[in-house]
Amino acid sequence: MRLMEAGSVECAGFLQALRRRGTIPDPAVEATVRAILEDVRTRGDAALFDHAARLDGARLTRDTIAVTDAERETAVASIEPDVREALALAARRIETFHRRQRRESWFVEEEGTGLLGQLVRPLARVGLYVPGGSAAYPSSVLMNAIPAKVAGVPEIALCTPVGKDGVVPPAVLAAADLVGVREIYKVGGAQAIGALAYGTASVPPVDKIVGPGNVYVATAKRLVFGLVGIDMVAGPSEVLVSPALAEAVRTEVERQLALLPRRQIAERAVGEYGAVIQVADLSAAVGLANAIAPEHLELVVADPWALLPAVRHAGAVFLGRHTPEVAGDYLAGPNHVLPTGGTARFSSPLSVDDFQTRSSLLSLTPAALARWKEPIARLAALEGLEAHARSITIRMEEV
């Protein structure tokens, strides 16, 4: 892990590389993903099954792609009681937090004008992507499905990759069962995103796709955006810590890396993007944090609340030494799907809002339309939209 001074040439270069991380598409990856998406769009299930076999070694058919009730029930029964209790606790806390985010429709009647308001409706159908591979991620099920459930989404389809054995990790199925997700497909990668976006004979299309994934999944989500909604194009995870002793942190990171079972992966990540940056004071540290706009910001200082008002850009803020980032990842309640790559400057964590639409509602009285006829027509004419202007004058002539 590198040690550098804030304001140095080395630090400036590091920050520039950090901001670019995950924002510049890899041409080779994009070309591969475009080909997969087009294949799924044109050939449907045949392409979906071919790519699953080629990339994951999974033998899928129309009869085996969906998880059966028996598979789900067997998986749930196999989960240790303490794991089941931990999942249930996490689910309760996540639901409680997200229920506070739920919006309701509202209406206001203005005297002499009519009624104005906003209709809030849940999305009809969403697709949840849960990554697989070397680990199981039941937390991704909880963090993505629960806000959708709280919003009132009636249909949730879950896609997750399987290997040659065709088995979805029991913990993933247990989490899905816990939150009432029953429509589960054994397919991952860009081909799963294509199926959710375009629809196939086996996988009906959705209105929005949410959930994390590798660079191929993230690229596929970016490419289908517009046809469907997406939560965000998430990049590699980020943690920014505001500590007291830079050198002590660097030493401890090296010690902890040696103890990890997935040491090589962690060492590569820390080697490429890990750094300890020495700053003059905590005010400068917060300024640096705002410039980076990290996914996670830990304020491990004596008085974190004193620094909080100056924090402008962060996906999630963790205050004090007893609030580690991992608590937010799994159980505290706030969502762990957070903006990465500096996008916390303009985007927010996944929330109930992501699963609801808002429609404006207008109902004017005849008197209000008559009162506003001239200024509306004048503004329309100002913009060269004569038909707009005529629409109101003709309407008034018919009254």
pLDDT reported for residue 280: 87
- Mean pLDDT computed over every residue of the chain: 92
pLDDT tens digit sequence for 230-279: 998 877 777 877 765 677 888 888 888 888 888 888 888 888 778 888 88
Strand partners, 175: none
pLDDT reported for residue 304: 95
135 or 349: which leads in pLDDT? 349
pLDDT reported for residue 265: 83
296 given a catalytic annotation: yes
pLDDT reported for residue 243: 60
Segment among 20-29, 114-123, 216-225, 370-379 with least mean pLDDT: 20-29
Pairing between strand 114-122 and 356-364?
Answer: antiparallel
pLDDT higher than threshold 80 for residue 87: yes
Segment among 10-14, 53-57, 343-347, 372-376 with least mean pLDDT: 10-14
Which of the residues 51, 98, 238, 295 is marked catalytic?
A: 295
The beta strands (E) that lie in 44-113 are given as 106-110
When pLDDT is averaged across residues 170-197 and rounded to a whole number, the result is 97
Burial per residue of 240-265, b for 16 or more beta-carbon CB atoms within 10 angstroms, e otherwise: bbbeeebeebbeeeeeebeeeeeeee
pLDDT reported for residue 357: 96
pLDDT reported for residue 240: 76
When pLDDT is averaged across residues 27-53 and rounded to a whole number, the result is 97
When pLDDT is averaged across residues 96-115 and rounded to a whole number, the result is 95
Query: Whole-model pTM?
Result: 0.90
- Among 143-157, 221-235, 329-343, the range of highest mean pLDDT: 143-157
336 given a catalytic annotation: no
pLDDT higher than threshold 60 for residue 363: yes
Which of the residues 98, 296, 298, 336 is marked catalytic?
A: 296
pLDDT higher than threshold 80 for residue 19: no
pLDDT reported for residue 74: 96
pLDDT reported for residue 4: 84
**Dihedral sign (CA 239, 244, 245, 248):** negative
pLDDT higher than threshold 60 for residue 142: yes
When pLDDT is averaged across residues 99-104 and rounded to a whole number, the result is 96
Q: Is residue 352 within 8 Å of residue 145, measured between CB atoms?
A: no
Q: What domains sit in the chain, N to C, each tagged with a CATH number?
A: 2-22+236-333 (3.40.50.1980), 27-230 (3.40.50.1980), 365-398 (no CATH)
pLDDT reported for residue 399: 56
Task: Give the confidence band of 23 by pLDDT, cuts at 50, 70, 90.
Answer: low
pLDDT higher than threshold 80 for residue 14: yes
pLDDT higher than threshold 60 for residue 22: no
Percent of the chain with pLDDT over 90: 74
Q: How far apart are CA 138 and CA 175, in angstroms?
A: 6
Tokens of 393: 């004058």
Report which secondary-structure segment, H or E, holds 96. Answer: helix 81-99
First-residue to last-residue Cα distance in the chain = 75
pLDDT tens digit sequence for 365-396: 999 999 999 999 999 999 999 999 889 888 87
Percent of the chain with pLDDT over 70: 98
Report which secondary-structure segment, H or E, holds 229. Answer: strand 229-230
Q: How far apart are CA 144 and CA 208, in angstroms?
A: 12
Q: How far apart are CA 58 and CA 162, in angstroms?
A: 6
